[in-house]
Structure 1
Amino acid sequence: MAAATNFHSQLVGWLKILLPLAALMLLSTLFLFARNTGTPTEIPFAEIDAAAAEQRIAAPRFSGLTNTGDTLAISAEAARPDANGGTEVTIDKPRLSLDATDGTTLRISAGTGLVDTAAKTAHLGGLARLETSSGYVMETAGLQADLTTGTVTSDGALEVQAPFGQLNAGQVTIQTGSDGTGQQMNFTKGVKLVYTPPTAAPKDD
């Protein structure tokens, strides 16, 4: 519960920073947090003024813990709040990383993204690419990430380059087992596999 609260607090804080009613000093402080720069002198005031006018922030980044203790982080080139004052934040060229407590990792890059701070979810689209530390590389049109549990589910079909060959599937769900079993991938909805046997080592004469 503490981990979920920590993650929710960071999401709410990010949204508050992006709201157009935020004061200039608060926006300046957020720039320091989002860019991890460390000193106010590294932030040009002209850029802060432009960001305040456009309701836009450059290079946002936040991280937190899932309810299983894994570290989840999202970064992007830019972020913009909902023009209607809602709970959604649009992010450009997002990157999502998930580092599980057992050492396995998941890296996702996409063209567009939408973070819903109320639902604690992120949708990444515009061709999403996933890479796992176990050697899987996947591409799909879009995916949904649960920021509380760290579970990632593709919107639809995907192509996969696996350590043992190529496969196509209608959907994949990636999650970390709560019992410490590590990263789990579940391919469903018409899985087709082209197995590539390992190349045998040449025999010595």
Structure 2
Amino acid sequence: MNGSDNLYSQFVAWSKMLLPLAALALLSTLFLWARASEPTAIPIAELEELAREPRISEPYFAGIADDGSVIALAAEEIRPDADRPDAFAVTTIRAEIDATDGSRIEITAGRGEIDPRAKTATMSELARLTSSSGYVMETEGLVADLSTGTITSLGPLEVQAPYGDFTAGGLTIALSESGEGQQMVFNGGVRLLYQPQP
């Protein structure tokens, strides 16, 4: 019973976000049509495609993780995942995490997936992560836990740091043991090219 209640609550929460966005998109379309000097016809094929593949353009989601970090997600387009009805496929995803210690992490990727049930956002197709501490990282994919703010790489990554360039087999960004801010842990064979500052 608790599982079904939880699923229903998640459905209601997502509906509260997605339905107003869809309503805004429809209202914007109505205003654009009302201002047109000449009637504009929409091709039947385009209408059929929209009916077959529902989507929302430029969605934006924001929330607060368990540690107080503010997490925001934006994308070019979001649509239901054809293979997983409870997940969403995302195009050109962007994520921003503002930690309680004042640090900031920005992530961009070509594609992604948001799973409301698992509370995760997966970013793929060359994910790029930039931190306010001066790190710039590129990897094949990242997974962000939206409830805890933890970020894990899906493979090796190349890193530009303030003190030099290095590669690593993996990365985890999570709340430090002291609970004060987030820490980055590189693992899986770190190779560093140290560049001393002049």
Q: After TM superposition, where is structure 1 displaced by more than 3 Å over at least 4 residues in a row?
A: 9-18, 49-52
TM-score using structure 2 length: 0.79
1:169 corresponds in structure 2 to: 168
Q: Decide which structure has greater strand share.
A: 2
Which whole-Å CA distance do the structure 2 matches of 1:17 and 1:83 have between them? 20
2:36 corresponds in structure 1 to: none
Which whole-Å CA distance do the structure 2 matches of 1:85 and 1:159 have between them? 31
Q: Mark the runs of 5 or more structure 1 residues left unpaired by the alignment.
A: 1-8, 19-25, 200-205
1:69 partnered with 2:68: yes
Distance change (3 Å), C-alpha of 1:59 and 1:187: same
CA contact (8 A) 1:95 1:110 kept: yes
CA contact (8 A) 1:127 1:142 kept: yes
Query: By how many angstroms is 1:154 displaced?
Result: 0.3
1:186 corresponds in structure 2 to: 185
Distance change (3 Å), C-alpha of 1:85 and 1:175: closer
Distance change (3 Å), C-alpha of 1:107 and 1:85: closer
Q: 1:6-35: CA deviations, max 9, x gaps?
A: xxx7886336766xxxxxxx4xx22467x8
Q: 1:124-183: CA deviations, max 9, x gaps?
A: 000000000000000000011101100000001000000100010000001233634322
Q: How high is the sequence identity, in percent, across the aligned residues?
A: 47
1:13 corresponds in structure 2 to: 13
Of 6, 29, 38, the residue aligned with 1:44 is: 29
Q: Mark the runs of 5 or more structure 2 residues left unpaired by the alignment.
A: 1-8, 33-41
Which whole-Å CA distance do the structure 2 matches of 1:10 and 1:72 have between them? 18
> Residue type matched to 2:30 in 1?
F
Which whole-Å CA distance do the structure 2 matches of 1:137 and 1:97 have between them? 14
RMSD of aligned alpha carbons: 2.7
Corresponding residue pairs, total: 175
